[in-house]
Amino acid sequence: MIQPNDEHTPPVSSARIGVKICGLTSAEQAEGCVRLGADAIGCVFYPQSPRHVSDETAAGICRAVSAEALPVGVFVDEGFDAIMRRVIKCGLAGVQLHGREAPDLVRRLKGEGVLVVKALFFGGHPDPQSADAYSADVFLVECARGPLPGGNAMQWDWASARPLGAAHPMILAGGLSPHNVAEAIAAARPSAVDVSSGVEASPGKKDMRKVADFIDSVRRQSGSDLFRVFGLP
């Protein structure tokens, strides 16, 4: 396994790789992740997820971090009106569409000035070959395995995502942890990385030591800053 300080690990570029910590369930933990260097945090609005949060909790998280990080709402096959209600009510800066959403939904959300992350799935739908159909600001890519939408803590062939990252801004997700994120970055060359269960003590409860180790491992690499991925200053 390639370690963060391995002298043979190839640099990706001269800028900084973005870090998104997903599945936050409290403002206190979200603030802790931002203090440690997270560029974005994710609030999950999928009821079947153990990391699902209420609108009130999400609003508190967004208020706590929005001055320093991007609060992103994660949705699975929700409609335009339901998503926009939460964008406004909770103060989301962006949305992550993590289901089988149509390209038209991406266009409508962007028309409202919302940053859009569209998930693509190796072995699922939509797959990376569908990227050109979507006008998303950035794509999140992972494999389609496990019982829930998302990485389900499963490692996969990260190198297979490299062509997508060469053509589009890309966030790499799925099975990442402090121990393997350097290897994943070297394999896929992403603009940013996304982690949830890989830095948890239990579902929805982040282990701040793991968060710190994860971010430190990422910072030893190179890539594109998440704010630049989203076109922000």
The secondary structure of 138-198 as a DSSP string is EEEEEE--SSSSS-TT----GGGGHHHHHHS-EEE-SS--TTTHHHHHHHH--SEEEESGG
Establish if 167 belongs to a structural domain.
yes
Tell me how many domains the chain contains.
Answer: 1
Which pLDDT value is given to residue 156?
Answer: 77
Establish if 134 belongs to a structural domain.
yes
- Contact between residue 8 and residue 198 where contact means Cβ atoms under 8 Å apart: no
Give residue-wise pLDDT tens across range 58-100.
999 999 999 999 999 999 999 999 999 999 999 999 999 999 9
Establish if 98 belongs to a structural domain.
yes
Contacts 24+ apart (CB under 8 A), 52-55: 53/24, 53/25, 55/86, 55/89, 55/90
Q: Which CATH number covers residue 163?
A: 3.20.20.70
Establish if 13 belongs to a structural domain.
no
* pLDDT at position 9 over 50: no
Give residue-wise pLDDT tens across range 117-145.
999 999 889 999 999 999 999 999 998 75
Domain membership of residue 70 as a residue range:
18-228
